Structure 1
């Protein structure tokens, strides 16, 4: 049920209630129904906050946005200290292979968000891109930068 991810191991609150497994969302401060994708999200949020020094107070989970008259939700949006969107992350379950469709999805979101960093992760594989908005290009980074390097 709890897939070993390619991330450090963190203590995440899990409980059983009403026949359902619940996982604690440290950003929204509430328990949610456990799904493999939520497992990835909660581990990755802890990775960003504990290992990469991203302030949890600058994170927003499932932020609504509209692209071409369609409603979407960004899995995780991180802001800089001035309140400007800095980074968007798209999560998939560990069993979901990251494909071109996944990158197309996050690029569509970024047409609206205009953030300089994109991350896609299924908990096993993580891809981080730095976007040059002016030249409409991007470069894959070897590792996810610390908040101090980009924030």
Structure 2
């Protein structure tokens, strides 16, 4: 049906409505039209929950934000146990190359959220970086940390 991603294989609840396949989003608790980007989002969310120990209860899909009087939505925002934003994740469809423009987009979102971790994924390639606000720079991590690792680093 959709591209095999560079993630573990998961099973999902799907249904067909008016000729379109829908997938159940366990975070929003509703069915959504299954687009290539949604396929990446749902698989990556499962990866964070099942493999990296992120609590689903601390995730918000399409979190609203305002930049220069314009409304935007971050694909996924993960909060820490204190309910402060910890990570923003931006998803693209598998056929979309991740470019500087993608990182610029998530960096703009981070002007609002000010999170220490950013992830960009098209399901095939995943990039995670840690932001250092004091030094005004960032560094790419070799792999995506677990929720417990992030909490111990952030002392949350």
Number of the residue aligned with 1:40: 40
Aligned to 2:136: 136
Name 1:108's counterpart in structure 2: 108
Three-state SS of the structure 2 residue aligned to 1:3 is: coil
Pairwise CA distance, 1:26: 1.0
Deviating above 6 A after TM superposition, structure 1's stretches of 4 or more consecutive aligned residues are: none
Deviations 1:112-140 (A, max 9, x none): 11000000000000000000012210000
Name structure 1 gaps, 5 residues minimum: none
Q: Deviations over 1:41-88 (max 9, x none)?
A: 000000000000000000000000011211110000000000000000
Return the alpha-carbon distance in structure 1 between the equivalents of residues 117 and 28 of structure 2.
22
2: CA distance between counterparts of 1:40 and 1:26? 14
Paired residues, what number? 151
CA distance in 1, matches of 2:80, 2:134: 19
Tell me by how many angstroms 1:17 deviates.
1.4
Look up the match of 2:147: 147
TM-score by length of structure 1 reads 0.98
TM-score between the two structures when normalised by the length of structure 2: 0.95
**Backbone CA RMSD of aligned residues:** 0.7
The 2-side partners of 1:68 and 1:134 are apart by 24
